[in-house]
Chains A and B, each alone.
Chain A
Amino acid sequence: MSRSHHQPPHRRPVRRLASRLLTGSVLAGFLAFFVLPVLWLVLAATKTDQQLVHDNPLSFGSFPALKANWDALTAFQDNAVMQWLGNSALYAVISLVITLGVAIPAGYALAMTEFRGRHTLLVATLVVMLMPNATLVVPLFLEINAVHLIGTMWSIILPYSFYPFGVYLTYIYFTTAVPKDLLAAARMDGCSEFRVFWHIALPLATPVIALVGFFSFVANWTNYFLPYVMLPESSQMPIQVGVGSLLSNVPSFNPAVGNLAIERPQLALATLVAITPVLIVFLFAQRFLVSGMLAGATKE
């Protein structure tokens, strides 16, 4: 392979075909790796536990089986699954609203205005952004415990609302995509700083608002460790922690379970239910994501 590279590719049709086949099979192999488990999960939810073991793994079960799985799942602990979903939605949406309200103006100010401490704030944001939030779970527990908020929804909503990555994305967006002259012109015309932000910067910021909203929603929806520590009561759990607790009621994974068992297809269905909101948001946001807008955000 390494010796062939002095030949322009079109002179070597056989080699070119071989390289295409190799490329194709590598890409297809990874496609199977990424997609098969998702496909399997969708199909598993339509089967009985018997079918799951004996039928072709990639076959469709039946709608009655799907219905039966759904009924068994919703019957678990008196519809706990729906309550967990509701909890997740409540936590994710409130913190999303706070995140947007805080991060967008902050990123805008860092990019477009001068003020004392701006540089320090920027560096602090970068460091905190690269610091994974799981390190702070135990310290956050101590802090939240000190102000007696353990077991309330604010114990996770407030930490979720702090989203330095969103501030950074907004900062990058405004420095690269919005010319400062545009704002200067508006200021000349006598606009107040708030009006400049509200009437000029914000309408231009739609793509970055969508992006920050998407990332923050997904990060909060899929977080496990923080709510696991902060909200120990089953009735307060978000769906991620709830689904984890379902797992310990599946006899095939945990033989010690008594008669309140959950079967594997029901666990698969619960997993599907847990990810559906993310998938929906994801479909709306994907044109921003897959177009590589993130990487476009580098300052070259």
Chain B
Amino acid sequence: MTLTHSRAGSATRRRRGGARQSRAGMAFVAAYVVLLIAFGVLPTAYAIYFAFTDAGGRVTGFTNFVTTAQDFRFLDAVGHVATYLAFWLLSLVVFVVALALLLHRLASGSASKALRFLYYIPGALAGAASVLVWLFMLDPTVSPVSSLLGALGFHTFGEVIAPGNLPLLFTIIAFWTGAGGWIVVMYGALNNIPTDVMEAARVDGAGAWQTAWHVQIPMLRKWIVYMVILAFAGGAQLFVEPQLLSLASVGVAGRDYSLNQLTYDFAFQMNNINGAAAVSVELLVVSVSAAAVFVARSGFFDAD
């Protein structure tokens, strides 16, 4: 009898505790929810509204999407961004994974740690700074690797930044600033592989190459996909690199090289806010779908 009593008592207490916790939880997230609505949900809704209406607020269906897609610069911009993304994702997957594996195999732990730190340093130069550094690196008159540029047949800055080279140059810049961070992440993931798995591979006679291919890379898969999704979504937003280059090259790279430059141009040069919103919505759909597929399929976030 007493037992039932106390059990019932603790159940009520737990329920009451649950309600209290629930209220507290909501209070703790309240400010975040306000920001999420103000700077995540509302601008998205706003963009969708503008994309489907005209300057007078009349609903126009897909007109803005059609008009912007027919703009003579649109397909070029899509092509530029797509080529850049192909280079960027490929180099990221190949080199980041390879470097993380090599660093993980280094016998000297302190050398590995020092290298990870040094590879990470350009990460501090993200944004405009990295573009400025590479403008210098790519200018044969001042570059420390001007002989290398010369050997590749480049003797003037103009030759280096010819439009055909841009996807590769933007890849180099993005890789320079971004790879170090991913190497650290991959290295950490390699550390998380249980020692007995690695030990078993060694006992079975697997060499470094086989271990990497059959054991380590499959276990990194989740992280590699995560990196590709983030790099894809980020890369599709290309803006600061071509924008600064257009300032430095007197028009070799136009102000409409990437899609985001085009949205800027629609919005602020051509006064076509609705067209700009349409291109923004397209970019949003692409990156949100990539994110949603990843969240749903990868099991990466066990959001219970």
Question: Quick one: which of A6, A228, A282 contacts B205, CB cutoff 8 A?
Answer: A6
Name the A residues within 8 Å of B116 (CB-CB): 290
Interface stretch, picked from B55-63, B64-72, B78-86, B226-234, is: B226-234
Chain B hits for A134, CB < 8 A: 237, 239, 260
Q: Is B12 engaged at the interface, CB distance under 8 Å to the other chain?
A: no
* Interface presence of A213 (CB below 8 A): no
Query: What mask results when residues 9 to 36 of chain A are scored 1 for a CB within 8 Å of chain B, else 0?
Result: 1000000000100010011001101111
Residue-by-residue, is B214-227 near A (CB-CB < 8 Å gives 1, otherwise 0)?
Answer: 00000000110000
B43 lies within 8 A of A143 (CB): yes
- Chain B residues contacting A279 (CB-CB under 8 Å) are 124
- How many B residues, CB 8 Å from partner? 119
Interface string of A253-275 (1 = CB under 8 A from B): 11110000000100110010011
* A253-B248, A298-B192 known, 16 other contacts, Cβ within 8 Å: A41-B133, A58-B144, A106-B29, A110-B25, A114-B25, A121-B33, A137-B263, A138-B47, A139-B280, A140-B43, A142-B46, A164-B36, A193-B21, A274-B129, A275-B125, A296-B192
For B36, give its contact among A40, A124, A137 (CB under 8 Å).
Answer: A124
Task: Decide yes or no whether A203 CB sits under 8 A from chain B.
Answer: no
A27 B102 Cβ-Cβ under 8 A:
yes
Shortest CB-to-CB span from A10 to chain B, Å, is: 11
With contacts A23-B105, A229-B268 taken as known, whether A115 is within 8 angstroms of B25 at the C-beta atoms is: yes
A-B contact pairs, 5 of them (CB 8 A): A102-B35, A119-B304, A138-B280, A193-B24, A243-B128
In Å, the complex CA distance between A151 and B287 comes to 29
For the residues of A in contact with B, the DSSP-based class is helix
The reply on B198 being an interface residue by CB < 8 A is no
A113/B24 in contact, CB under 8 A: yes
Q: Which residue of A lies closest to B273 (CB)?
A: A142
Counting residue pairs across A and B whose Cβ atoms lie within 8 Å, the total is 336
Name the contact of B29 in the complex, choosing from A105, A128, A135 (C-beta under 8 A). A105
Which listed residue (B42, B123, B139, B180) contacts A143, Cβ 8 A? Answer: B42
Contact B295 A127 (CB under 8 A): yes
A278's nearest neighbour on chain B, judged by CB, is B124
Q: Which of A101-143 contact B (CB under 8 A)?
A: 101-103, 105-106, 108-110, 113-119, 121-132, 134-143
Q: A276 to B167: give the CA distance in the assembly, Å.
A: 29
The answer for the CA separation of A139 and B281 in the assembled complex, in Å, is 9
CB distance from A207 to the nearest CB of B (A): 14
Tell me, yes or no, whether B93 is within 8 Å of chain A by CB.
no
B31 touches A5 (CB 8 A): no
Instruction: Give every chain A residue within 8 A of B25 (Cβ-Cβ).
Output: 109-110, 113-115, 118
Counting CB contacts under 8 A, is A189 at the interface? no
**Which residues in B have some Cβ–Cβ distance to A below 8 Å?**
17-18, 20-29, 31-33, 35-36, 38-40, 42-44, 46-47, 50, 95, 98-99, 102-103, 105-106, 113, 115-129, 132-137, 139, 141-146, 157, 176, 179-181, 184-189, 191-192, 205-210, 222-223, 229-230, 233-234, 236-237, 239-240, 243-244, 247-250, 260, 263-264, 267-268, 273, 276-277, 280, 283-284, 287-288, 290-292, 294-295, 301-304
* Nearest A residue (CB) for B202: A8
The one of A117, A128, A271, A296 in contact with B132, judged by C-beta atoms closer than 8 angstroms, is A271
Q: Which single member of B22, B191, B304 contacts A295 (CB below 8 Å)?
A: B191
CB distance B185 to A294 under 8 Å?
A: yes
Q: Which of A224, A240, A278 counts the most B-chain CB atoms under 10 A from its CB? A: A224
A1 close to B (CB within 8 Å): yes
Contact of A224 with B250 at beta-carbon distance under 8 Å, contacts A35-B118, A142-B50 already known: no
B185:A247 contact, CB within 8 angstroms: no
| Alpha-carbon separation in the docked complex, A123 to B185 (Å) | 23
**Is A52 interfacial (CB 8 A cutoff)?**
yes
Question: By the criterion CB–CB under 8 Å, are B143 and A139 in contact?
Answer: no
